Amino acid sequence: MRQSTETVFVDTSLGRIAGLRRDGVCRFRGVPFAEAPVGALRFCPPRRKTPWTGTLEAFEPGVIAPQLASRLLAVMGDFTRRQSEDCLRLDIVTPGVDDARRPVVVWLHGGGFSSGAGGLDWYDGGLLAGEGDVVVVGVNYRLGALGYLVAPGISDGNLGLLDQALALRVVRDIVAGFGGDPDNITLMGQSAGGNSIAALFAGGHPMKGVRRAIMQSAALGMRPQDSVRARALGADFVSELGGDPDKPDETRVKLAELPVSAILGAQAAVARRHARFGDTAPPFQLVQASAGLSDTIAFDHAAADAMTGIDVLIGVTADEADAFFALDPRAGELDASAVAELVGELYGPRGVGALDLMARRNGDIAPGALLSAVVTQDVFVEPAIAFACRRAADGGKAYVYEFGWHPAGSPLGACHCLELPFVFGPAQAWGDAPMLAGADPVEIAELSATMRAAWLNFVRTGDPAAAKLPTWPIFTAGRKNAMRLDRRSAIRDLAGDPC
């Protein structure tokens, strides 16, 4: 049966916005929250959007931040969307434009600070909004060098983080018109998005109205770069474009006039030169002691300490790093000594200790698979446990999960990003995702419904209890209770250092 479409209007402090009501929810797509960071505003902190006159028609999919192909294209699949620097926009989905004051979910997408967008069809908030009676807001922020370049006198870095902070302030200002409660916000992010949630709290950005945080595969072990390395990468980038790092005024003008294609080309060249196999960190990302992020203590510790009164749902997938290594032929060519050398170089004595332990426990596992297991543990699992421990020690409420489901026989296992179709729902956009190849659609639909219920219950009450899950206890220092989300979900202890 054909669904009717109705135009709906919301008056905000930015101006009047027109959206479309269809399938039981209202969508407003590509709503600008900041001025276009172009020309002289390129590499500058974001500026709040000047109110417009007339009505903004937010009907069509918005543009996304300029970006190169995703590193995980072979895992998640591909997407096509028009790119533009005028990308600082919101996608808003709500059950109704009324005064219901629904809980608000602000979604920060992943993509290694280099790819993705908050309004991709992958992240359509329609199911969450309709089933949970919540408002879902997807955020675009600047990526790659345009968002995270550090070059003194040209860019202070962390501009993508500042974009997110401004977006959160704007959402709080306007969301009541979309039926949302500005004093009941849940920040939800995956990978770089989850990492960004930690950075927003650690950086002391205004978090008024935020009650809860959902941090999926936040890669807290991938800490922000130190400023020395970030400046070296920035100087290389500037030189690649024919600029002089020692002449920032002149170079800033030059870079402002370059086409986006040149910026992306230089970004790719720098990434190739500095790539290190086994290292999951991108060249342009969050930087410690830079704009919007202090250098007091480790950012994840600072974040946990700053989240007093914030309910936390945090978790990982069981085989996170298989997304980076399982399909890479270089991993299959490694022998035990090469893996040990690589782990020692990238992850230090702690990583070597984990490698030795895993090798003893899994004598028949291939060296490349051992590398993946160490990275999963070092970058994702143990930092998530430590974060939950720190919250628990401070009397905070945290729930921890491990997503273990995967298609039978998949070489990718329960890899990074695999939980996303289950959180947002198995939409058509995920139809060609290699990580789901061979999966039973009924299994996906059933587990997705359970997870959506859990996530929505957490958003609404701070407790992810759901009908088809066993009792989900609060994480404590004495017993590291985690919900294993799988065909048969169960409570288990995650392996990691004691709290």
Q: How many CB atoms lie within 10 A of CB 259?
A: 8
β 102-108/135-139 pair status: parallel
pLDDT given at position 46 = 98
* Nearest-angstrom CA–CA distance, 365 and 163: 43
Residues 269-274, mean pLDDT to the nearest whole number? 95
pLDDT band at 496, cuts 50/70/90?
low
Task: Read off the pTM.
Answer: 0.96
**Mean per-residue pLDDT for 93-116?**
97
Q: Please tell me the predicted confidence (pLDDT) of residue 296.
A: 64
SS3 assignment for 134-192:
CEEEEECCCCHHHHHCEECCCEECCHHHHHHHHHHHHHHHHHHHHCEEEEEEEEEEECH
Element spanning 382, H or E: helix 382-393
Pairing of strands 155-156, 150-151: antiparallel
| Chain segment 47-59, per-residue pLDDT in tens | 999 999 999 999 9
User: What value does the mean pLDDT take over residues 245-253?
Assistant: 94
Q: Check whether 498 has a pLDDT greater than 60.
A: no
Tens digits of residue pLDDT in 177-206: 999 999 999 999 999 999 999 999 999 898
How far are the Cα atoms of 291, 357, 359 from residue 354, in angstroms, in the given order?
A: 34, 5, 9
CATH superfamily of 1-499: Alpha/Beta hydrolase fold, catalytic domain (3.40.50.1820)
User: Per-residue pLDDT for 497 more than 60?
Assistant: no
Torsion on CA atoms 78, 80, 84, 90, rounded to nearest 10 = -80
Instruction: Give the per-residue pLDDT at 459.
Output: 98
For residue 130, which of 102, 163, 157, 165 has the smallest C-alpha distance? 102
Where exactly are the structural domains of the chain? 1-499
Q: Is there a contact between 195 and 222 (Cβ–Cβ < 8 Å)?
A: yes
Distances in Å between the Cα of 478 and the Cα atoms of 378, 388, 473, 481 are 21, 12, 12, 9
Alpha-carbon separation of residue 262 from 244, 266, 312, 315 (angstroms) = 16, 6, 41, 38
| pLDDT of amino acid 343 | 87
Kindly tell me if the per-residue pLDDT of 274 is higher than 70.
yes
Query: Highest mean pLDDT range out of 317-321, 355-359, 363-367?
Result: 317-321
Tokens of 52: 């417009």
pLDDT at 218 > cutoff 90: yes
pLDDT at residue 2, rounded to an integer: 54
pLDDT tens readout for residues 21-71: 998 999 999 999 999 999 999 999 999 999 999 999 999 999 999 999 999
Predicted confidence at residue 1, as pLDDT, reads: 44
| Residues sharing a CB contact under 8 Å with residue 415, sequence separation 6 or more, in sequence order | 75, 317, 319, 320, 321, 322, 323, 326, 406, 435
As annotated, the active-site residues are 191, 320, 416
Rounded Cα gap, residues 453 and 484, in angstroms: 16
pLDDT recorded at residue 300: 87
Q: Per-residue pLDDT tens for 465-490?
A: 999 999 999 998 777 789 999 999 99
Q: What percent of the chain has pLDDT over 70?
A: 97
The whole-angstrom separation of Cα 192 and Cα 213 is: 14
